[in-house]
């Protein structure tokens, strides 16, 4: 397994040059890595040209392409992962440091970035030895809070309400965790963007956020590029909240027997099934999920239905992450569900 920060320069010769589509190469920073990209990624933070950790290159990929009927093709090997969407394009992840992209006809960079910075980047980070969760994460007074849940549970909405309350975004959608020290898991900051549905965006003003144009009519959430309210670097993972909708705000600890399955369920790689856990990665993935379950408090967070009541959940989370409650290992006093 390649160390997280090993540059790819020694691997460039393994791939033929992509001459047919000459593009300006841009440099960015995300997840503590330098990214050199032929795709414009304004979602990421710009960086000065340097020896990159990840190369994103446009060109031809000699792999089968999906038809309109099949829609997608996913293939997973120990050293390569191939994801192709008929309406977007094909993405080939090689090792832990290169992503080749063959766009579908007429597809622009904004649409390419949608899967590139979601499932494709998640799989590459997984290859680099990080545990990746499908979640959002916020830094509250130097402590990392992770929000997991089924679609519509309110992960990004809750994270946005915490940003409005004065806390900092760590990452949205793709939460990468560094377990170099398994007893002290760290959240790796991603990039300063959060995606929100229109009703949530209208109810939760993020101040100095740039709302980017809609990527595609079928993609309902809008991308909000933050200017400020973003925490870079590594932040200790203190709490994992599994969100559910309810009548009132409440927090209840999940027992270990329930915490581990929840982490496995919401780890990004499991979205692709067992095929994505090839080789030794299945055992590594289980060890990583177990370490998180053993060393990070996992709680069920009930979020009141209705955006006008999201502040109740915010107050509860802030109280739960207070020093006194963390020392006691209990939810905020007066808010534990009986």
For 315-325, the pLDDT digits (tens) are 999 999 985 45
pLDDT, averaged across the chain: 86
What is the Cα–Cα distance from 262 to 244, expressed in whole angstroms? 13
For 212-229, the pLDDT digits (tens) are 777 776 776 778 888 888
Sign of the C-alpha dihedral computed for residues 53, 135, 130 and 32 taken in this order: positive
| Last residue in a domain, options 68, 102, 127 | 127
For 53-88, the pLDDT digits (tens) are 999 999 999 999 999 999 999 999 888 999 999 999
In a shared domain, residues 233 and 113: no
In a shared domain, residues 96 and 203: no
62: which 2 tokens? Answer: 């000699």
Residue 323 pLDDT = 57
In a shared domain, residues 255 and 276: yes
Q: Collect the ranges in the chain with pLDDT lower than 50.
A: 1-20, 324, 328, 333-338
For 225-260, the pLDDT digits (tens) are 888 889 888 999 999 999 998 888 999 999 878 999
Domain encompassing residue 79: 9-127
| Last residue in a domain, options 111, 127, 143 | 127
What is the Cα–Cα distance from 229 to 237, expressed in whole angstroms? 18
In sequence order, the 6+-apart residues with CB closer than 8 A to the CB of 101 are: 38, 39, 56, 57, 58, 59, 61, 89, 90, 91, 92, 112, 116
243 is a domain residue: yes
In a shared domain, residues 48 and 144: no
The answer to whether 249 and 303 have CB atoms below 8 angstroms apart is yes
3-state DSSP assignment of residue 56: strand
In a shared domain, residues 175 and 301: yes
Residue 202 pLDDT = 65
| Last residue in a domain, options 102, 127, 152 | 127
154: which 2 tokens? Answer: 């309110």
The total domain count for the chain is: 2
């Amino acid at each position: 397994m390649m160390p997280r920060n090993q540059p790819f320069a020694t691997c460039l010769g393994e791939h033929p040059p992509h001459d047919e589509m000459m593009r300006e190469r841009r440099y960015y920073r995300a997840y503590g890595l330098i990214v050199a990209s032929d795709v414009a990624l304004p979602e990421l933070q710009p960086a000065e040209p340097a020896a990159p950790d990840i190369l994103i290159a446009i060109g031809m990929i000699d792999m089968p392409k999906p038809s309109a009927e099949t829609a997608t093709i996913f293939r997973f090997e120990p050293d390569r992962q191939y994801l192709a969407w008929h309406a977007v394009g094909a993405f080939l992840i090689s090792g832990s440091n290169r992503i080749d992209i063959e766009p579908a006809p007429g597809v622009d960079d904004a649409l390419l970035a949608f899967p590139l910075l979601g499932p494709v980047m998640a799989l590459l980070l997984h290859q680099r030895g990080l545990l990746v969760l499908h979640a959002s994460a916020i830094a509250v007074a130097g402590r990392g809070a992770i929000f997991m849940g089924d679609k519509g549970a309110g992960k990004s909405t809750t994270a946005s309400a915490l940003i409005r309350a004065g806390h900092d975004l760590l990452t949205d959608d793709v939460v990468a965790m560094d377990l170099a020290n398994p007893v002290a898991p760290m959240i790796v900051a991603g990039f300063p963007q959060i995606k929100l549905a229109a009703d949530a965006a209208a109810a939760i003003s993020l101040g100095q956020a740039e709302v980017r144009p809609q990527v595609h009519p079928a993609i309902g959430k809008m991308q909000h590029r933050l200017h400020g309210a973003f925490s870079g670097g590594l932040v200790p993972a203190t709490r994992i909240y599994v969100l559910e909708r309810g009548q009132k705000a409440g927090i209840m600890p999940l027992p270990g027997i329930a915490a581990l399955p929840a982490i496995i369920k919401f780890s990004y790689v499991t979205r692709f099934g067992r095929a994505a856990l090839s080789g030794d990665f299945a055992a590594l993935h289980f060890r990583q999920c177990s370490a998180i379950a053993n060393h990070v408090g996992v709680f069920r967070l009930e979020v009141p239905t209705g955006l006008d009541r999201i502040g109740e959940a915010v107050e509860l989370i802030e109280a739960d992450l207070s020093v006194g409650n963390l020392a006691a290992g209990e939810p905020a006093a007066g808010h534990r569900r009986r």
